Each structure stands twice: as structure tokens, then as C-alpha cells.
Amino acid sequence: MKVFARKGLTACLFGLAFSLAAVAQDSSFSNKNTLPEIGVVASEAISLDKEMMVGDAVMRQMRGQAPLISDPILDEYLQDLGNRLVVHAENAKFPFTFFWVNNDAINAFAFFGGHIGVHAGLIRRADNESELASVLAHEISHVTQRHIARRMQAQQRATPIAIASMLGGVLLAMASPQAGIAAMQAGSAASAQLQIDYTRSNEQEADRIGIAMLARAGFDPNAAASFFSTMAEEYRMVSRPPARLLTHPLTETRVADARSRAADYPDKRIRPVKSFHLAKARIVSRYSFDADYALEHFQAAVDSGDYPHAEAAMYGLGLAHMRNENYAEARDIIIDTLLKDDPANLFYLDAATDISLAEDLHKEAISRLEPHMSLTPRNTVLALNYANALIQGGQYSTATQVLKDYLLVNPEYELAYQLLAEAHREAKQFGDMHQAKAEVFALYGAYSRAVDELQYAYNFAGDDHLVKQRIRARIKQLRDQEDRLKRL
């Protein structure tokens, strides 16, 4: 499946990760040993409704400005992993959204409204799925315990200006990392020692709750301590540790506490998870390494046979061949070997579609996907790959119907709107194309650009008064959303 991995502004996201994680972990009550009254104390600073509005606004700006990875198969894997944890979380007040950041740093961060970002470098350093899950569980705990809101409550008791500086700094960091961090530092400098106390309290709380969540969800509760140890050892002699260690200090006491908490749960012997290793191989092959080095890396892994998962090594090699446009070699690995042995595997189906389309074999791609689409027509990987194959094969009407059906249940997946705009453009349906592009800009928080696109669409509506009325109503909705954002 074609992917959209935004480049540039890596430092912007790095700054945002640092600032949001720091905000998330610096809050608690003056009594550090008392757990929060969820929804009561924190709601004095910000209600759940407003928290979701702020989270939505930040997420829209991140889509437009941060180097996120829009990759259906990786998105589905991460969201599924996160959901398996969230169902075992306490005080989950809203759906969680998990997304990838195209950055090789070891980092993850949470912010308002249940949004959790994971840097690509995190899964590259994790040895197994439980280690990756341990980081997600920790970040989920920051959200369910409303650490950001509790920090705001503590700052509110000190000065309202600090809250404005904090929120302004978070948003500003997306456009200008240095300015954003400076604004946040200026707003919090007066209470540095208090922030240290909040950090200790919230990290202990998130560790405790996260490890319990990890165990309830069926993962290895020892994974948190093992990943802590791996990170600490890797960067023991480095003068500047990664963002994850800057915002989540790894003291010996913290690692020992994680081991002690894990000892309260039964030992789990968990077999290697194929989807984890495939996701990791995809990250490494497509996003972490240059094309030539990825090919060398996975060829050596296959030849040596010492890669943690043999099929994942072959999959990574197949993807590396694709990046280097060696489609015959990629076909031999992905389609003739891996997919033949596991015909329903979405990782393989996604790659096989890309190979077929690169070789102008549109009918092959469509016929391969159709049986799976009949079973799960709104699966993200299948629907978007199928629509892409239909577009490349000139079947624009069918493609637009597939995408519209998908968007009914996934209205905020930008890649679907991008494909929809492409389908309408190829079909010369320019009014519909501008409407689809407007939705992409709206997902970026670029409301003025979205309104411009809708006005272009209005000019193509001709005498269709129903379409014109629908466009006018959507313009009003977008302007209302922009006004609400300004009032925040």
C-alpha cells in the first residue's frame, strides 16, 4: 500500500514529545501518596469534553506538521495492540488513538483525549511484543490517571498564567520547537522543585498501573523492567540520552521497583508473536534504514539464520527489494513464498498488492484481494489496498464506493480521503475531488484551506442545489470548529 511518511520537522515532533511527556508526568497532588479522585479533582482544571476537544485540535495539527507515518498495516497493528491493553485499563473515559512517528528516537508520549504517539525507533529496540506493550501501558496510565489535567490543576493553584504558557507552548512547539519549549520552560520555571516531585509521583503511579494492566492483558509483566534495563544499558555511556530517558528517568530504584511489582504476578512464557516481528521488520526496512543498507541488513539476516523470526527476516528482505525496485526478487519472496504459505496474512497481502501494481498487474492485485474483501470489507488494510488497486486499474466508481463505505466507520483516516480525491480526479469529477481534499485539510486543522476547497467544489456544483446546500452546511461546520478551537 502506498504510504505517506512526512519528512522534515523531525525536531518539531521531538520537541512536542519532550514537552507533552514532561507535562504528562509532572502532575500530582501535594500528597504524593494519595491516588487521584478521577474526574473530580482533575475536572476542576479541565473537563473531559474540553480535554477531548484539545486532544483533537493537537492531533489535527500534528497530522499537518509532524512526521507521522500513514501506513495502514502498521496503523492497524499498533491500534490493535493498544486496544488489547485499553480494555484492561481502569477509568478509560474515551476511545484511544495510537499512531506512529517517523523518528528513530526511543520515545512514546501521551496527550489529551487518549492520543498516544509511538516513535518508530521504539519498536526497533524492543525485543518482543510485551516490551512494546509495556511502554503503551505506561502511556495509557498517564491518560487514564489524567496526569496532564492534574498538572494543570496544580498549576492553576499557583497561577493561571502558567497554564496558558503550558498549553501555548505545546501548540507552539509544533510550529517552532525551540520557541515552544522556551515558552513552556518560562511558564514553569518558578516551580521547578514542585515539578520534580510531581514527576516522581506520576511515574511511580504510571509504572504501577501500567504493569498491572500489562499482566491483566496477558503480556509478560517482567517486560517493563527488561526494557528499562535494555535502554539504560544501551545509553549508559552516552552524554545525551534519548528523549525517553530524559522525560522518564531510569534510576536503579525505578528498575528495581518494576521488577518487584512484576514479581507479584505469575510468570508468563509467551511465544514469539509473528505480527510484532513483521511490524518491526517493516519499520526497519521501510523507515529506519536507507534502501541499500536495508537490503544488506536483511540479506545478511536471512543468510545467517540468526534473526529472531525467520519469516520476518524474509519479509524485511522482500520489502527491501521493493524499495530498490527489484520486483522479481520481491515477488519470489513475498508472493511465491510467504503469501503462498499464509494467504490471509495482511502484511503479505499489502506487500503483494504493491508488487502487482508496480508491475502494472492491476487485475492480479484486485482478484487477490476480492475474496478477503467479501469477508471483511471495512478492514483498513484490505479496503485501502483494494481501492488503490481499483484506482490504478481504472475502476474509479467502484473505488469511490469502497472508500465511502470505509469512511462511514473510519471518518478520520486521512489516507482514505487522499485516495478518494485521487479517484475523483482520475474520473474528472472535480467537484467531488475538491470536497475530498477539503476533508484532508480539515484533518490537518487547516480550516481556511478546507473552506477554500469547498468553495472550489461549490463552483463545480452547477444547478445541483442539494449538493450546494450540503457544501454550505459543511463550510459552516468547519468555521464553527475553527471558532471553538480559538475559544479554547
Report the C-alpha gap between 96 and 180 in whole angstroms: 26
* 115 is known to lie in a ligand binding site: no
What are 9's three cell numbers? 520537522
User: How distant is the alpha carbon of residue 152 from its chain centre?
Assistant: 25
The total number of residues shown for the chain amounts to: 488
Radius of gyration of the chain, Cα coordinates, nearest whole angstrom = 23
Q: Is 439 annotated as a binding residue?
A: no
Grid cell in block for residue 335:
508472493
Kindly list the strands in the beta sheet with 97-101, ordered across the sheet, starting from the edge strand earlier in the chain.
4-5, 68-70, 97-101, 115-119, 108-111
Pairing of strands 115-119, 108-111: antiparallel
| CA–CA gap between residue 182 and residue 304 (Å, rounded) | 49
Please state, in angstroms and rounded to a whole number, the distance separating the CA atoms of residues 73 and 349.
10
Nearest to 373 by CA among 385, 355, 391, 360: 385
Please calculate the CA angle 256-260-264 and round it to the nearest 5 degrees.
165
Active site annotation includes 207: yes
Q: Is 138 annotated as a binding residue?
A: yes
> What gap in Å lies between CA 344 and CA 368, rounded to an integer?
10
Query: Which residue out of 104, 207, 354, 482 is catalytically annotated?
Result: 207
Respond yes or no: is residue 139 known to be catalytic. Answer: yes
Instruction: Specify the long-range contacts of residues 39-48, CB closer than 8 Å, at least 24 apart.
Output: 39/91, 39/93, 39/146, 41/150, 41/153, 42/146, 42/149, 42/150, 42/152, 42/153, 43/149, 44/153, 44/156, 45/149, 45/150, 45/152, 45/153, 45/156, 45/163, 46/112, 46/149, 46/152, 48/93, 48/94
139, 220, 432, 439: which one is catalytic?
A: 139
69 DSSP β-pair partners: 5, 100
Amino acid at 481: Q
Reported as half-sphere exposure (CB side, CA atoms, 13 A), residue 305 has a value of: 0
| Residues in binding site for Zn(2+) | 138, 142, 203
Query: Which residues have a catalytic role annotated?
Result: 139, 207
| Residues in binding site | 138, 142, 203
